[in-house]
């Protein structure tokens, strides 16, 4: 055998060995390009989602300093004049002599028209967990009772009694005895005044602080709307004795009444007869008012949902870690999962404690489920890699590079749709 043949045989194995790395390098190059492309897609999708969240946040309602809110107005001035002009007072000699008896004419008794006005100065607190809210304002009522004219000093057109003197007068004379029927605590009146006038009009003005009950529906928290209900009626006298009358802006809001976490959307009221089961089958004339408010969800979007969403989306980048580094992938996902859990615990005091799932709860549960599923996906890819060898990328890896970002994007779009719908 010639030396040239020996040299040729010697080079053949070397050439075969040299050709193998080229093939592996080619496969690795394709895999690297795919991984780089997947990372670019993920980054682009992240930017799109951030843009959507920012757009949603910018469109959230924000109160302006000079904004006029629905229902804002000054309280009715001279309520007694309006009531007396529409419902003239009967002469004292036509009324019962006893001051405790309702001032109805003896010959033709009619329900006593009582003008009512509720002016809300402030709503200091709203407890959506306990279904109540605190309201601070003025309750004004006016009616006719000509029997009180004799108590006004000669030469005076009116007599004004304050606080204790007003309370003593009320305990000795008939009054409509109006109250908030949906209160959940004892009524507290800071000040009150009784004004007696020469035309027979009587006006009672009371500054009150009340805890009122109202059912809150938190299924769409924190993108929810709530109704603050205010009910006023006589505590004692049914509609055959007391008839509440509408004399203008019966319920009004102070121009300074603002709620940091809520936006006032609407104010409605109606006066009508209402059955009171606690007082038998009698009907009572009742003022029913509803203040519609919408939660300002910007805090929850920027401080809770956006950080949790970013952490969850970042976990998708475990696919960018080399496929054969299973431990690194698990450490990456687990670190983000525990970070998300710790963050959720920190902000848990900011959400209402209710025995059902809100929209916000559903969102966070989905994020946790999404990250936990990534743990199983990473494990499954690792098992396939061991079976198929390191020269071939498992098909599930390629599928997940598209499937996981797509599922995350669709879930965010669905959440935004439910939030603004």
Q: Are residues 385 and 404 in the same domain?
A: yes
In percent, the amount of the chain with pLDDT more than 90 equals: 52
Confidence band, pLDDT 50/70/90 cuts, at residue 170: very high
Would you state the pLDDT for residue 186? 78
Q: Are residues 170 and 247 in the same domain?
A: yes
**Residue 20 forms part of a structural domain:** no
Q: Are residues 220 and 292 in the same domain?
A: yes
- Give the pairing type, strands 112-127 and 251-253: parallel
**Residue 1 forms part of a structural domain:** no
Domain that holds residue 292: 79-296
138 Cβ contact list (under 8 Å, min separation 6)? 75, 117, 118, 119, 121, 205, 206, 207, 208
**Residue 14 forms part of a structural domain:** no
Average pLDDT for 8-16: 42
Helix (H) or strand (E) holding 140: strand 132-144
Would you state the pLDDT for residue 86? 83
Last residue of a domain, one of 296, 316, 340: 296
Q: Are residues 186 and 243 in the same domain?
A: yes
Q: Are residues 379 and 244 in the same domain?
A: no
Would you state the pLDDT for residue 393? 62
Q: Are residues 284 and 356 in the same domain?
A: no
Helix (H) or strand (E) holding 115: strand 112-127
Confidence band, pLDDT 50/70/90 cuts, at residue 69: very low
**Token code pair at residue 154:** 């000669």
Separation of alpha carbons 12 and 18, rounded Å: 10
Last residue of a domain, one of 232, 264, 296: 296
Would you state the pLDDT for residue 144? 94
Average pLDDT for 9-21: 42
Last residue of a domain, one of 296, 312, 330: 296
Separation of alpha carbons 32 and 26, rounded Å: 10
Average pLDDT for 164-175: 94
Confidence band, pLDDT 50/70/90 cuts, at residue 38: low
In the chain, the number of structural domains is 2
Q: What is the pLDDT of residues 103-150, one digit of tens each?
A: 999 888 899 999 999 999 999 999 988 999 999 999 999 999 999 999
Cβ atoms 336, 315 nearer than 8 A: yes
3-class secondary structure, 207? strand
**Residue 17 forms part of a structural domain:** no
User: What's the mean pLDDT when you consider all of the chain?
Assistant: 82
């Amino acid at each position: 055998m010639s030396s040239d043949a020996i040299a040729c045989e010697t080079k053949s194995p070397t050439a075969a060995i040299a050709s193998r790395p080229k093939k592996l390098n080619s496969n690795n190059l394709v895999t690297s390009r795919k991984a780089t492309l997947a990372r670019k897609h993920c980054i682009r999708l992240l930017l799109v989602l951030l843009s959507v969240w920012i757009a949603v946040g910018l469109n959230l309602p924000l109160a302006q300093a000079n904004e006029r809110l629905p229902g804002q107005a000054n309280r009715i001035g001279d309520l007694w004049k309006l009531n007396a002009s529409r419902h003239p007072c009967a002469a004292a000699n036509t009324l019962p002599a006893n001051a405790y008896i309702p001032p109805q004419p003896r010959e033709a008794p009619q329900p006593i028209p009582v003008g009512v006005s509720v002016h809300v100065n402030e709503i200091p607190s709203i407890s959506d967990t306990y279904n109540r809210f605190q309201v601070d304002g003025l309750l004004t009522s006016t009616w006719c009772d000509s029997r009180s004219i004799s108590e006004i000093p000669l030469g005076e057109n009116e007599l004004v009694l304050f606080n204790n003197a007003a309370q003593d007068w009320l305990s000795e004379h008939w009054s409509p005895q109006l109250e908030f029927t949906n209160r959940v605590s004892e009524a507290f009146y800071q000040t009150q005044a009784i004004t007696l006038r020469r035309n027979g009009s009587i006006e009672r003005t009371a500054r009150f602080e009340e805890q009122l009950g109202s059912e809150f529906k938190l299924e769409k928290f924190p993108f929810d709307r709530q109704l603050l209900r205010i009910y006023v009626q006589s505590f004692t006298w049914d509609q055959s004795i007391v008839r509440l009358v509408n004399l203008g802006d019966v319920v009004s809001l102070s121009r300074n009444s603002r709620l940091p976490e809520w936006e006032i959307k609407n104010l409605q009221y109606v006066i009508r007869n209402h059955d009171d089961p606690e007082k038998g089958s009698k009907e009572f004339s009742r003022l029913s008012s509803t203040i519609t408010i919408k939660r300002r969800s910007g805090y929850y979007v920027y401080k809770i949902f956006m950080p949790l969403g970013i952490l969850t989306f970042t976990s998708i980048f475990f696919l960018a870690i080399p496929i054969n580094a299973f431990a690194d992938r698990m450490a990456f996902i687990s670190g983000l999962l525990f970070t998300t859990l710790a963050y959720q615990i920190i902000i848990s005091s900011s959400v209402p404690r209710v025995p059902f799932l809100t929209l916000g709860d559903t969102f966070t549960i989905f994020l946790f489920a999404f990250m936990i599923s990534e743990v199983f996906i990473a494990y499954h890819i690792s098992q396939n890699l061991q079976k198929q060898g390191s020269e071939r990328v498992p098909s599930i890896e390629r599928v997940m590079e598209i499937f996981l970002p797509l599922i995350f994007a669709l879930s965010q779009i669905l959440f935004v749709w439910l939030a603004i719908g």
